[in-house]
Homo-oligomer: A and B are copies of this chain.
Amino acid sequence: MSAAAPEGYDPSAFEPFAVTVDLAVFTVRDTRLHVLLVERGEDPYRGHWALPGGFVLPRESAGAAARRELAEETGLTEETVPGLHLEQLRTYSDPDRDPRMRVVSVAYAALVPDLPEPRGGGDAAGARWWDTGGLGALAFDHDRIVGDARDRIGAKLEYTCLATSFCPPAFTLGELQQVYETVWGVELDRPNFRRKVLATPGFVRAAEGAPRRTGGRGKPAALYTAGDATALHPALLRPEGRNT
C-alpha cells in the first residue's frame, strides 16, 4: 500500500512506536564547546552518558516536549526557556537504535549561555557539561546526534546571528568572537570580526552602562546585547580549515 497518509488503517495492526525527543544542549565554557549529558542509571547502557530527553506526551508536540525537557534538565524556569534557541535537528529512526523497542527520536539542538551549573531539578541529578572534544562512547546513537548537531551549529553561525544565543544578556565583542572561534576551531582577525558584526544591522545593539573588563587586564570592552536580526547577510564565512 501507499497512498496519502494513514487510511483504512487499524492502529492495533501496527507495532506501536514510541516517540521521544533527544536534546543536544550546547554551551561555550572556557573556550571549549560543551554539551549537557546525563548518566544512565539503568540498562541498556547503564553507566554510559546520554543526551537528556524523554517521551513525547500524548497531547504534546515534539517541540513542546523538547522545551519541557530543556526546562527540567537545565533547572531553568518555564519562563526563561522560551527565550532560548531551540531548533529541530532531524529524526533518528533506525529500527535497532534502542534494543528494547521501536523508538523514533526527534533530536533538537539548544544553545545556552554558560549557566552556573546544570543543577538538574527532578531526576536529572547526574547531569554534567562535557567538553565535546574527546567524548567517550555515548549511549544509543547519541554520538551521531552530537556530531550532527555540531555540524549544524557550525554551519548556522555562518549565515545567522545565532552566536548571540551562547552569550549572556550583555556581552563584549571579544566574547562573541570567542564563540565563533570555539565552535569553528579557528582564530579570527579581531578588527575584521568587529567590523563585520557592527556592519550587520540588527546583529548586536550597544548596551547601556559602563564597559567591562573581560580578562582582568586590558582596556574595558563595550557591552552589547543581541539584536533582533536572525539572518546574516552577507555570510560570515569561516576560513578554509576544518573544525576541531
Contacts and interface: CB of A to CB of B under 8 A. Distances in A.
Interface residues of A, number: 61
Interface in A1-26: 1-9, 11, 14-20, 22
Q: Is the interface of A mostly helix, strand, loop or mixed?
A: loop
A31 interface: no
A60 interface: yes
Interface in A143-171: none
A94 interface: yes
A16 B63 CA distance: 18
Given A11-B16, A18-B14, A62-B104, A122 B53 contact: no
Contacts of A6: 18, 20, 55, 98, 100-101, 103
A59 interface: yes
Contacts of A118: none
A13 to B, nearest CB: 10
A20 B51 CA distance: 25
Contacts of A72: 2
Given A17-B16, A18-B9, A18-B14, A4 B139 contact: yes
5 contacts: A4-B51, A5-B20, A6-B55, A11-B18, A90-B90
